[in-house]
Every structure is written in structure tokens, then in C-alpha cells.
Structure 1
């Protein structure tokens, strides 16, 4: 499986408009510190799944010449994860398997974001497909399970498996209490790759976990690779963060590819 990071930034992207902080200044000249909103593309044997479609998705799909997506999985309703669904009104008619790209998420989330994809459905570019939470659904050669996670909005992580690979994508997590960790361990342990949000270096209670907590979560879930993404300008710039964590995780950057 190929994992391509189309974007690795948080809601404001990096650099932030009008910001003079050291991270944003670094991002002007350091392309690995320059981040569009988070999205990843999974590809295996010519079939692809997109995870999240934020407001940068048009630029991202053009940059990496993505023309075929079998399914779009959405994690939650925030604009940096879902508002790019409007762009699929202009998606090519042959852009998905059997001509239509599936839009997949639990029904509760699909209902909340229907205003973002209604025109794409009207023009037969997207086809909504509700996924039962905490159960596997087959999407082509990918087996997909949404897992409820704690965030400020109704949010889901995704466990995605093929015959050879298992990855976990957790784009926004606000808390990891002992009871929540027990659930994660039962549902998400033992992946080949865990991709997790790390907007801030320190925990932001009620909003996002920090880098250290993300690393601890990766250890608790016994993943083979841990990748930090969804990074904002309050965190360290790319090279500084890479050096600070000293190999405990991979710091993602826009355009990065991991082969599993």
C-alpha cells in the first residue's frame, strides 16, 4: 500500500496569513514546514481511497495529478476536513470505480455534512454510502471500520485493512482517558502504520492531544510506524520537531509517501 500525504497542516495551514512567528517565517523558505490542510491518499493495485477533503483539496488533487478515487472517507465536519467536498461537483464522471466515487462515513456524520455534497450527488459525482460504526465494510479491496473518537465535533477515526496491510488514521483527538484508551486498544492495536494528529507540542485539554501524548498513544497501540500529522504553527517547525522527538515518530510533510 502507498500512503501519500496530500496535506499535513491543521485548520489554519502553515504559514498562517499575516503571522510573523518563527514557524511561519521558516515555512516561507522551508517546504517541509509549509503545510496545506490534512488529507491522505491510500493506493493499492491501482485503487485509491481519500481520507478527508478540506478546503485545499482542489490544489492537492491537481498537484499530485489524482484523477481516480474509489471512495472518500470523512472524519468529521470541520471545514479543514470536509468543506472541500464541494469541489467534487466538478469531479470527472469517470473518477471512481464504476464511474462514481463513493462518499463514506457513518450516517450521523453524512447527515450533518449533506449541504457540502448535495450538488456533487445531484451531478452523479459522489454517491453517499453510510458505514456502520465499529464494523468493517468492504470498499473494493479495502476493508474499512469507523471508530468513534473524542473531539469537539462528532468525529471518527478509521481502521483500514487490505490482505497485507493495516493502517489507522486518527485526524483529531481531544482526549485519551483510561476508559477511552481501553476502547482504542481493543479496536485499533497492532497496525502497520498509525497516523495521528499533533497540532500542538503540548496537550490542549478539550481540543487536541500534544506530541508527547500522541507518541505515548502510538506506543500503547503497538503500531509499527507512528506518523505525526495535522501540525499547526504553534508546534515546532519541521526540522526542529523531527530533532526534538529523536526518532520516536515520523514527522509527516506535504507530498511525503510511505510504502507498506
Structure 2
């Protein structure tokens, strides 16, 4: 079954252009250097699935013409990945049942805390998002089915914490990772598409950098790889020119096709 993956956002937590910055990338006329906060959209089998809803989700949804969403998966509870949650409200109203949300336990607790008015049992605000929060199994490789496709949890290291990456069919999405633990490596074999963090050229304590991400791609050997969660250190054209042909920088609005089941 073929799926289309759209990069809604490919930027770091501060976005690009970064506020107050006049560097060459932040002032670049190349639209590929304009990076909103990271998220992807999956479309397959007449269904739409989101991974993360950052603070730019409203603008991203308008840009891509998103009129309905059937499920949302979260990688972790940082602001650049969850703060668009409230913009799911009008989309959830269109569904017959509650919009299913999937997250590991720590991320679920963060969402419940930040958006307490959505989940309270007493005096719940009537126009809160109509959602149902599902806590996913933390076991590496554990999976759940969505619309005839299996989504498997791939734990990754994000600085001092473990967060959730996802594998779905021939693709995997590993945003905000500084490393891939040994138990996750077998879950990333025989990939068509690998999407992973590459914040900048210099090492960072909680994100992978370009040289390290290239080495991970060469180790895992997917047929294609795309870098995301990029800061204003990386000019799109210049960085792409340094990469092997099967590795590209993603950019906001980029669409790729792959087999999801």
C-alpha cells in the first residue's frame, strides 16, 4: 500500500529564520531555508495521520490544505512538538468519534498537564478538542495498527532522555535524536526511507549533527535518507552539495512516496 509523506516542518525548536538573526541562512531567498517546527503528515488508504503538532501547525495545515485528521502520534513532549495540539480542535469536531492520540507515558502526561482543560472530567470546556489519548507500549518494536498499517516504536536517545521514534512500513521517522540505542538498530533494517535529526555541523548534546547522521545512514543502509530538525547553521543548497546522492536535506512541503504496508 503506497503512502505519501509530507514534511510539514523541518526546522529546529527556534525555527528558521531565527528571530533577531541576520545570518546568511536566515536572510536567504531560498524557500528551502525557511523551516518551521518539525512535523510530518502521512496520507494512505484514504486516511491522514500526523506525527507531532508543533507551534506552527496552524500555518502548516493551511499551507497543505489539511481538512481532516484521523490520528496523531507524538514523539515527545517538548514545546516544538506539542504546542499545536489545541489547533486540532476544529479538525476533531469533524469526526464521528474522538480523534485518537498516541504517545508514550511521559509524553501523554505532559500533554494532559499542559492541556488540562481538554482532559478534565469535571467542568470540561465544551469546545475542547474531542480526543482519546492512548498510551503506547514502551517495548522497543511494539506496534499498533492504524488503518491497515502498523506503527512500531523505535526508542531513540534525546540528550538525557529516551523518546519515541516510529517505523511504519518501509519508512522510519527519528526526529530529535542524539543517538540510536543498540536495541533499536535491528528495528531499522531494510528501510526504503530513513528520516533523522541533523541539527548542524558541530556536535550538540541532545541532537545529532550532520557527520554523525551521515555515519548512521551508512551503517543502516536505507535506500534513501532525509535530514530534518535543522537549524540556521545549514544552508540547504550548500549542505546538499556535500552529501552523498542518496542523502538529502528535507524541506518544508517536500513530499515523498513509499510503501507503508
Matching of residue 74 in structure 1 with residue 107 in structure 2? no
Map of 2:26 onto structure 1: 24
Give 1 or 2: higher helix fraction.
1
Bigger shift: residues 247-256 or 7-16 = 247-256
May I ask how many residue pairs the two structures share in their alignment? 246
User: Of 146, 150, 164, which aligns to 2:153?
Assistant: 146
Contiguous gaps of at least 5 residues in structure 1: none
**What is the CA–CA distance in structure 1 between the aligned matches of 2:129 and 2:56, rounded to whole Å?**
22
**What is the CA–CA distance in structure 1 between the aligned matches of 2:191 and 2:242, rounded to whole Å?**
24
3-state SS in 2 of match to 1:239: helix
Cα RMSD (Å) of the superposition? 1.7
**What is the CA–CA distance in structure 2 between the aligned matches of 1:124 and 1:228, rounded to whole Å?**
32
**What is the CA–CA distance in structure 2 between the aligned matches of 1:240 and 1:99, rounded to whole Å?**
47
**What is the CA–CA distance in structure 1 between the aligned matches of 2:214 and 2:15, rounded to whole Å?**
22
Superposition deviation, residue 78 in structure 1: 1.0
Could you state the TM-score of these two structures normalised by the residue count of structure 1? 0.88
Map of 1:247 onto structure 2: 245
Superposition deviation, residue 169 in structure 1: 0.5
**What is the CA–CA distance in structure 1 between the aligned matches of 2:25 and 2:40, rounded to whole Å?**
23
| Residues 150-197 of structure 1: CA deviation (Å, up to 9, x unaligned) | 113441111112xxxx21110011235xxx2x3222222211211101
CA separation of 1:233/1:53 partners in 2, compared to 1, >3 Å: closer, same or farther?
Answer: same
Map of 1:216 onto structure 2: 215
**What is the CA–CA distance in structure 1 between the aligned matches of 2:147 and 2:33, rounded to whole Å?**
35
Matching of residue 171 in structure 1 with residue 175 in structure 2? yes
Q: Within 5 Å, which residues of 2 pair with 1:1-260?
A: 1-26=3-28, 29-95=29-95, 98-121=96-119, 123=128, 125-133=130-138, 134=140, 135-152=142-159, 153-161=161-169, 166-176=170-180, 180=181, 182-204=182-204, 206-234=205-233, 236-260=234-258
Q: Could you tell me whether the CA contact under 8 Å between 1:71 and 1:103 is conserved in 2?
A: yes
| Residues 236-258 of structure 1: CA deviation (Å, up to 9, x unaligned) | 21111111214240211111100
**What is the CA–CA distance in structure 1 between the aligned matches of 2:82 and 2:249, rounded to whole Å?**
23
Q: Runs in 1 of length 4+ with deviation above 4 angstroms? A: none
Could you state the TM-score of these two structures normalised by the residue count of structure 2? 0.88
CA separation of 1:116/1:126 partners in 2, compared to 1, >3 Å: closer, same or farther?
Answer: farther
**What is the CA–CA distance in structure 1 between the aligned matches of 2:93 and 2:118, rounded to whole Å?**
11
**What is the CA–CA distance in structure 2 between the aligned matches of 1:202 and 1:247, rounded to whole Å?**
22
Superposition deviation, residue 25 in structure 1: 1.6
